[in-house]
Amino acid sequence: MSELFVALTPANLLACFVGTVLGTIVGVLPGLGPAGAMALVLPLTIKLGPTAGLIMLAGIYYGAMYGGSTTSILINVPGEAASVVTTIDGYRLARKGRAGAALAVAAIASFVAGTFSVVALQLAAPMVARAALAFGPAEYFAFALLGLVLLANLTGGSRAKSLAMVLVGVMLSTVGMDPLGGTVRFTFDLAGAQAGLSFVAVTTGLFGVAEVLASMAEPVPAGAVPHVKFRELYPSREELRRSVPPMLRGTVLGFLVGLVPGPSATIASFVSYGVEKKVGKHRAELGTGAIEGVAGPEAANNAAAGGGMIPLLSLGLPFTPSTAVLLSGMMLMSVTPGPFLLRDHPSVFWGVIGSFYVGNVMLLLLNLPLVGVFARVATIPPRYLMPGVLVLCAVAAYSDNNNIFDVWVMVVAGIAGWAMRALDFGPAPLVLGLVLGPVLERSLLQALTIARGEISGLWASGPAAVMLAAAVVAFVAPGVAALVRRTATHRT
Amino acid sequence: MRRECWSAAALALLALAYLLAARRYPLDTLATPGPGIVPLVAGVALLGVAISLFVKTGRVGAPAVSFGPPTSRAGLADPATTHETGVAPIRPTDPTPQRVRRSPIVLAVALVLYAALLPRLGFIASSFALVVIASRLMGASGWWRPAALAAGVAAIGYLLFARWLGVPLP
């Protein structure tokens, strides 16, 4: 536990500062999201070493949640999907002249939720990791399968499309050497494909290049950014009083939603808003510029970001694109996340958790006085920003293996990702299928070998049986629900 | 609707091609599973999903079943949301439709050329050209500003990655 103070060394403080500032900028900018930005700086973080490198990556991850709210409130442009719901009441508040109060409440809610989720993460992650030590291949297979099915259900849009993307991701993960026997598959004699498709190249393509291509067809927000003076950043006593209950509800809800696979930060913010509409004392005012509509969702999306770290740190299984990039960063730095992380790399584990505390304070101190500066970043024309992003994508992809093949993978992934967006296929399920594919394959084959070919070996243990049953229910339930709905409509 | 059918057909084709290529990897037995098992399962599952997508989109007017929150992309606020609240969104600048349609395709071609020319021309020259083309396609006027931007990006990229981080850029 004393390793928590590792986060306070000058190098780690600097890494945390740079990460949180970059994260805030990424959160502010429409287009480039935290996963793409984290993939872009991977080569840089490797140079910093595991602890500082991962602290910087994590800073981008939760810094983006802070930044996203700024432009939602000031100019009605959510920097990332988790802040979409904040525009509803946040922008309305700004129009009423309460922009400063809304920004301050968003920052305070983010801070409270961020800090709560770190405390919960600090307590829960080692417990889950200890429990996971008893996990065998069958349990890992069941958990990864459950994660992917839930992911397909919760990604939003068509479930079949999400499922298709998960499967394409799993298929792409089979390129290269097979995880058990070492057979080289689907390389078509391309030397660069022997080690498999570079995750960094695919991610920079899908989340970087594809975003740049898609942003060309989107209108650029134009308009003046309202100037918010520092002394206007004080919410009134009434506003603060009204913010506390939704902030606390959002924090707990967000953390719990964060444990579930899928775009948990976005879902958490919508769930929190929905809950406030049902139980909030001033629910009638929601949608007209109520402070509860900022406090709840902003707390929820930050708490979810913390919750999402638990499966990654304690089981080594990422369920969001951002945590998948974090996993990739850990692997590149020879740190294997999972139950043994705490035992083998305690300074990395506690250093990253400690940096969350420091990062949350930094973000609060940074975001309040510099809110106007960050908001102006959103109005930089893409023609000056996006070409540089393209070159950064290429360098990030190349430097993964110092290989031109990976640049080709990035270009193809970028063009495919752009087409996928146009056809409403999300890139997140594909990336997670790519990351979890080898885990699924390895654990399935090992479980079958251990059970001497008996399929029932996959559900012989209690936890595996429960998780597989949950996966089956999650797979079947939406179809059954749709059937019931259809029958009911036919009857009426 | 037609677009949806085409994308379902493309997925089915991808699944078939993958299954065809996977035939050469042995399945062995369940007790000693071979490297062909997971590709077979994944390929068949994708084929099944593609067929179900095709059937679903084939039904005229069948809505896509949605679970979870709306897939709002970061960017301009959801029009439905702003409509609901009655808050006027900030007016976007109107892009030229034809140029908007064409420019991502031109940039995609430029990216393919970039990957092809990177080993021949090297990082600095090819990145310079890519940035100039990309910023012009995104609406930068004249040549001086794109050229200055490109020179800056190429120089900073080279100094940061090749010099400081020691990445052996081509």
Contacts of A70 (CB under 8 A, 6+ apart): A24, A27, A28, A79, A103, A106, A367, A371, A374, A375, A378
- Model confidence band, residue B88 (pLDDT cutoffs 50, 70, 90): very low
Of the listed ranges A131-135, B29-33, B150-154, the one predicted with least confidence:
A131-135
Per-residue tokens: A131: 């429990």
Spatial contact of A443 and A138, defined as CB atoms under 8 Å apart: yes
pLDDT score of A235 = 83
pLDDT of residue A462: 86
Mean pLDDT of chain A: 86
Distance (Å) of CA A430 to CA A171, A192, A334, A420: 10, 21, 24, 11
Q: What is the pLDDT of residue B18?
A: 96
Contacts of A492 (CB under 8 A, 6+ apart): none
- State the smallest CA–CA distance between residue A288 and chain B in angstroms: 6
% residues pLDDT > 70 (chain B): 74
Q: Which has the minimum average pLDDT: A135-139, B19-23, B139-143?
A: B139-143
Interface test with A, best of B30, B78, B102, B128 (most A CBs within 10 A): B30
Q: Which of A178, A217, A267 sits opposite B104 (nearest CB)?
A: A217
Chain B contact set for A171 (CB, 8 A): 18, 39, 42-43, 46
Give the pLDDT score at B116. 96
Pick from A17-21, A41-45, A431-435, B91-95 the range whose average pLDDT is largest: A17-21
Picking from A164, A320, A12, the residue whose alpha carbon sits closest to that of residue B8 is: A164
Rounded to the nearest angstrom, the gap between the alpha carbon of residue A311 and the centroid of all alpha carbons in its chain is 12
Distance from C-alpha of A51 to C-alpha of A7, rounded to nearest angstrom: 8
Question: What integer is the mean pLDDT of A404-431?
Answer: 92
Q: Which residues of A184-211 are buried (b: 16+ CB within 10 A; e: fewer)?
A: bbbbeeeebbebbbbbbbbbbbbbbbbb
Return the minimum-mean-pLDDT range out of A30-34, A139-143, A275-279, A337-341. A30-34
pLDDT digits (tens, 9 = 90+) for A355-393: 888 988 898 888 777 777 777 777 778 888 889 889 989
pLDDT bracket for residue A131 (50, 70, 90)? confident
CA distance A115 to chain B (A): 25
CA–CA dist A38, B124 (Å, integer): 24
Q: For position A66, what pLDDT does the model report?
A: 80
**Do residues B154 and B127 make contact, with C-beta atoms less than 8 angstroms apart?**
yes
Tokens of A269: 């913010």
**Res. B72 pLDDT band, cuts 50 70 90:** very low
Q: How far apart are CA A202 and CA A198, in angstroms?
A: 6
Residue A363 in contact with residue A20, Cβ under 8 Å?
yes
Are A167 and B42 a contacting pair, CB within 8 Å? yes
Q: Structure tokens of B76?
A: 């301009």
The predicted structure's pLDDT at residue B132: 95
Q: pLDDT tens across A455-475, in order?
A: 888 988 888 999 999 999 988
Q: 3-class DSSP state for residue A158?
A: strand
Q: Which residues of A touch B34 (CB under 8 A)?
A: 181, 183
| pLDDT tens track for A205-233 | 998 899 889 888 766 555 556 666 666 66
Q: Which residues contact A152 (CB under 8 A, 6 or more apart)?
A: A159, A162, A163, A166, A429
CA angle A333, A334, A336 (to 5 degrees): 115
User: What pLDDT does B47 receive?
Assistant: 96
Question: Residue type for A155, please?
Answer: T
Number of domains in chain A: 1
Contact A184/B at CB under 8 A: no
CA A137-A142-A147 angle, to 5 degrees, is: 125
CA distance A420 to A212: 14
Mean pLDDT confidence for A108-134: 86
Q: What pLDDT is attached to residue A118? A: 86
pLDDT classification of A84: cutoffs 50, 70, 90:
confident
Helix/strand/coil for A373: helix
In this structure, which amino acid lies at residue A262?
A: G
Residue B48: strand, helix, or coil: helix
Encoding tokens for residue A418?
């752009």
Mean pLDDT, residues A92-110 taken together: 87
Residues in A closer than 8 angstroms to B35, CB to CB, are 178, 180-181, 183, 185
- Chain B positions touching A390 (Cβ under 8 A) are 111, 130-131, 134
Q: Is the pLDDT of residue B65 over 60?
A: no
**Among A31-35, A166-170, B114-118, which stretch is predicted with the lowest mean pLDDT?**
A31-35
CA atoms of A4 and A352, how far apart (whole Å): 8
Is A219 in contact with B93 (Cβ distance < 8 A)?
yes
Residue A328 structural domain: 2-491
Q: What is the pLDDT of residue A306?
A: 84
Task: Pick the more confident residue, A45 or B84.
Answer: A45
pLDDT of residue B112: 97
Highest mean pLDDT among A63-72, A100-109, A144-153, A262-271: A100-109
Asked if residue A16 lies in contact with residue A303, where contact means CB atoms within 8 angstroms, the answer is no
Give the tokens for residue A489: 């409509």
Where would I find the beta strands (DSSP E) of A300-456? none
Summarize the confidence of residues A237-260 as an average pLDDT. 91
pLDDT, tens only, A143-190:
889 888 887 877 667 888 989 999 999 999 999 988 888 889 999 888
- CB of B132 closer than 8 Å to CB of B126: no
**Own/partner long-range contacts of A403-408 (Cβ < 8 Å, ≥24 apart):** A403/A192, A403/A198, A404/A192, A404/B115, A404/B118, A404/B119, A404/B170, A405/A190, A405/A191, A405/A192, A405/A193, A406/A192, A406/A198, A406/A200, A406/A201, A407/A201, A407/B114, A407/B115, A407/B118, A408/A192, A408/B115
Question: Is the confidence at residue A308, as pLDDT, over 90?
Answer: no
What integer pLDDT is reported at residue A394 of this predicted model?
93
Examine the pLDDT at A432 and tell me if it is beyond 90: no
Structure token digits, residue B123: 């990082």
A224 interface with B at CB cutoff 8 Å: no
Q: What tokens does A111 get? A: 């801070």
pLDDT of residue B151: 95
Q: What are the phi and psi torsion angles at A318 (to 5°)?
A: -90, 140
Q: What percent of chain A has pLDDT over 90?
A: 25
State the pLDDT at residue B64: 44
Say whether A448 sits in a helix, a strand or coil. helix
**For chain B, how long is the longest CA-to-CA vector?**
67
Confidence (pTM) = 0.82
Q: How sure is the predictor about A297, in pLDDT bands with cuts at 50, 70 and 90?
A: very high
Q: For B40, name the nearest residue in chain A, comparing CA atoms only.
A: A171
For B135, list phi and psi in degrees, rounded to 5: -70, -35
Indicate the pLDDT class of residue A77, thresholds 50, 70 and 90.
confident
Task: State the ipTM, two decimals.
Answer: 0.81
Average pLDDT rounded to a whole number, residues A418-439: 89
Helices (H), A224-291: 237-258, 264-279
Question: Is A159 at the interface with chain B, CB within 8 A?
Answer: yes
A85 vs B contacts (CB less than 8 Å): 81
CB B138 within 8 A of CB A386: yes
Per cent of chain A over pLDDT 70 is 94
For residue A1, name the pLDDT band (cuts at 50, 70, 90): low
The DSSP 8-state label assigned to residue A339 in this structure reads: T
Of A51-65, A208-222, B34-48, the range with the lowest mean pLDDT is A208-222
For residue B77, the chain A residue with the least C-alpha distance is: A77
User: Residues of A numbered 333-372 whose beta carbons fall under 8 angstroms of chain B's beta carbons: which are they?
Assistant: none
- Specify the length of chain A in residues: 492
For residues A65 and A48, give the distance between their C-alpha atoms in angstroms, rounded to a whole number: 24
Residue of B nearest to A79 (CA): B74
Residues in chain B: 170
pLDDT tops 70 at residue B86:
no
